[in-house]
Structure 1
Amino acid sequence: MGLKVERWWQITWIIFSLFLSSLVEASDTYDQDSLDTFLCKHANKVIEKPRTGTFYNISLPGNFTGIEVSVVRLRTVSFWLRGVNYSFFNIPRRVVPQPNRKRMAILYENLGNLSSHYYNVPNHTMLAPVFGVIPYTSSETTLIDCENMNFIIQREPIRIHFPHIRPYAKNVTPICVKFGAGGSVKFRKMIRPYVCEAKSEGHYTIVVPTTKSQTQNKSKGFNIWWVLGFVICFVGLVVLVLVLIIIVKVVKRRKMRKMEKFSEKGEAFDTFWIGETKVPVASMRRTHPVLENDDAPH
C-alpha cells in the first residue's frame, strides 16, 4: 500500500512540474514577428475581394481582444503623390516605398491592452498603447502579399498621434520610442505634445522612466500573484493525492468484502485479524481415527 501511494505521489508531482513548466513557456510565447505574420494572413482571409483606396477594419479572434487592425490597399504612385492620413497616423507626400511595386498595402495596428505582452522598454513605463504602421507589397488579386516594404523619407516625417495617455508625474518628460528588429529600442524626443515623429515604418509608443517605487510595487505584485498561484497549485496537488489514496482504499475494501461473501458460501472458517485485515483460518479440530478391524482391542 505504501509503495502504491508513493508511486501515485511521484506521478502527480511529475504532472505538476510539467504543468508549471508549460505555464512558464506560455508566458513567453508572445512574439512580435509571429503577430505581424498572423495579422497579415488573417487580413487576406477576411477581405477576399479588396478594393483599392478602401480602408477595412479587420475583426480578430477572441484571444486578440483589445487589438485593433485596419488595412488599405493603394497604388504606389498615388501614395507618393498624396500620402495617407488615417486614424492616428499622418504619412506625408513624397514618401518612397521600397521595393518598387505597382500596388502596396498598409497595415495599421493598435495593440491596446496587449501592448505590454508583445513589447517592453526596460526601466520605463508605457503611457500609451503601441501603434504600428507596416507596409506590404500587394497585387491585383491579393490584399497583402506579406512581403515587407520600407519607407524612404527624405522630407517631412510620419506623425503618430497618441490621444489616450496614462497619468504621469508632472516633472517627467515623455519620450517617443520605436521598437526595432531583435528587440531593439530607439528613443526620440517628443516635439509636439503626445505626437511622435517617425523616419521609418514600425511600432511606436510613448514612455517615461520608471521610478523606484513603481518598480518595487510591480515586483511585489508579481511575487504575491506567483506565491498565490503556487499555493493554489500545491493545495490542489495534495487534494488530488488524498483522493487517489481514498480511491485505492475503497477498491481494496470492496475486494475484501467480495472475498468474505464468497467464503461464507462454502465451508465455514474461523477468522482472525492481522492489523486491519480480516483473514480466514481453517478449524484446528481433527476427526478421531477409526480402525477398520472390529476385533482390534479398544
Structure 2
Amino acid sequence: MGFDLFSFMFIIFSWASLLSMKAEAEAEGIKSARLLDLLIRDYTVKSLDRDLRTGIVHTVTLPANFSGIKVDTVRFRCGSLHRYGAQVKEFHLGSGVIVQPCAERVMVVRQNLGYNWSSIYYANYDLSGYQLVSPILGLLAYNADSDLSYGSPFELGILAREKPIKIDFSNITKASNKTGNWPLCASFEGNGKVTLKKQVSPNVCVATKHGHFGLVMESPPPSLPVRKKISRWKLVVGSSVGAALGAFLLGLLLVAMFVKVKKKARMEELVRRAYEEEALQVSMVGHVRARTTPTI
C-alpha cells in the first residue's frame, strides 16, 4: 500500500514538473506576437468554467513564466452584444458592434501584456523613431458555441461600424502630458502594419475592429553633454583664486631665480677669492725663493 501511494505521488509530481517545464519552454521560446496570442487563448480556454455565466468578467490565471501579463475573458450572446454593447476593462464596445461570423455565443479576451512582454512588438513591427509609453492592450474574440474544453476555438472578427471601440489608457500609461507632447495611438495589424493616429481625448484611442493597441511617443534624439552654466559669483571667486594662485607661483619662481642667481654669484665670488689666494700664495713662495742670502 505504501509503495502504491509513493508511486502515485511520484507520478503526480512528475506530471506537474513536466507541465512546468513545458510552460517555461513556451515562455522562453516566444518571439512572435501571434504565437503569444495563441498560447493565451489556450490557457484561457483551459481556465474557463463550463457553467460560466454570460456577461461576467473572468480573470484568467497564467503560468508563472507569463508573469506581467493580465488576461480577462467574458462570454456574450452575439445578439446581446450587438444591441447593448459592453465594457471589458479598458475597452468600451458601443451598441451596434458586430461579431463575424457568430452563430450564438462569443468569447471576448482582453490582454494587458505589461511593459515586459510588450517589447515583443518591437521585434514584430517597425517602431523605429517611436517608443511605447503604455503596455500593449489586446482585444480578441473566439467562437464559444461548442464545448470549449474540446479543441481550440477559432478566431472571430469584431467590427464597430456605428460607434468605434474606445480604449482608455489613463490608468496604465506612463506618459506625462505636462510637457505638451501627446502620445499617438498605435494600432498593430495582423499583417505587420502599424497605424498611428491622434487621440480623441487624453489617453483615449478609438478603433473600428479587434486587435492590439498601445500609446507611442517619438523617441528623443541622443542628448549631447550639456555644459553647466556657471554662476557669476563662482566665476569671480574662481578667477580670484586662480589669480592669487598664479601670483603665488610667480612669486615662488622669482624667489627661486633670485636664490639661484645669488648662489651663482656667491660661488663665483668664492672661486674668484680662491684663485686670488692661490695666486698670492704662489707669488709669496716665488718671492721667498727669489731672494738670495746676503754675503757677510
Moved over 3 A (4+): 26-29
Q: Contact 2:115/2:136 (CA < 8 Å) preserved in 1?
A: no
Shift of 1:183: 2.2
Moved more, 173-182 or 48-57: 48-57
Q: 1:155 aligns with which of 148, 154, 162?
A: 162
Q: Contact 1:139/1:145 (CA < 8 Å) preserved in 2?
A: no
Please report the RMSD computed on the Cα atoms of aligned residues, expressed in angstroms: 2.4
The CA distance in 2 between the partners of 1:210 and 1:27, in whole Å, is: 28
The CA distance in 1 between the partners of 2:218 and 2:29, in whole Å, is: 24
SS in 2 for 1:44: helix
Larger radius of gyration between Structure 1 and Structure 2: 2
Q: Contact 1:136/1:145 (CA < 8 Å) preserved in 2?
A: no
Shift of 1:146: 2.6
Q: 2:62 aligns with which of 50, 60, 63?
A: 60
Shift of 1:145: 4.7
Q: Map of 1:50-199 to 2, 5 A cutoff? A: 50-120=52-122, 121-142=127-148, 145-162=152-169, 163-168=171-176, 170-199=179-208
Q: Map of 1:235-254 to 2, 5 A cutoff? A: none
Residue identity in the other structure for 2:107: A
Q: Contact 2:73/2:107 (CA < 8 Å) preserved in 1?
A: yes
Shift of 1:142: 1.8
Q: Contact 1:138/1:145 (CA < 8 Å) preserved in 2?
A: no
Residue by residue over 1:160-191, the C-alpha shift from the partner in whole angstroms, topping out at 9 and shown as x without a partner, is 00023224571422100001123210111111
- Structure 1 segments unaligned to the other structure (5+ residues): 1-25, 217-298
Identical pairs, percent: 26
The CA distance in 2 between the partners of 1:209 and 1:27, in whole Å, is: 30
The CA distance in 1 between the partners of 2:197 and 2:83, in whole Å, is: 28
Q: TM-score of the superposition, structure 1-length normalised?
A: 0.59
Q: TM-score of the superposition, structure 2-length normalised?
A: 0.60
Q: Contact 2:30/2:36 (CA < 8 Å) preserved in 1?
A: no
The CA distance in 1 between the partners of 2:139 and 2:214, in whole Å, is: 12
The CA distance in 2 between the partners of 1:46 and 1:27, in whole Å, is: 22
- Structure 2 segments unaligned to the other structure (5+ residues): 1-26, 225-296
Q: Contact 1:158/1:200 (CA < 8 Å) preserved in 2?
A: yes
The CA distance in 2 between the partners of 1:191 and 1:147, in whole Å, is: 32
Residue identity in the other structure for 1:83: G
Residue identity in the other structure for 1:42: Y
The match for 1:47 is: 48
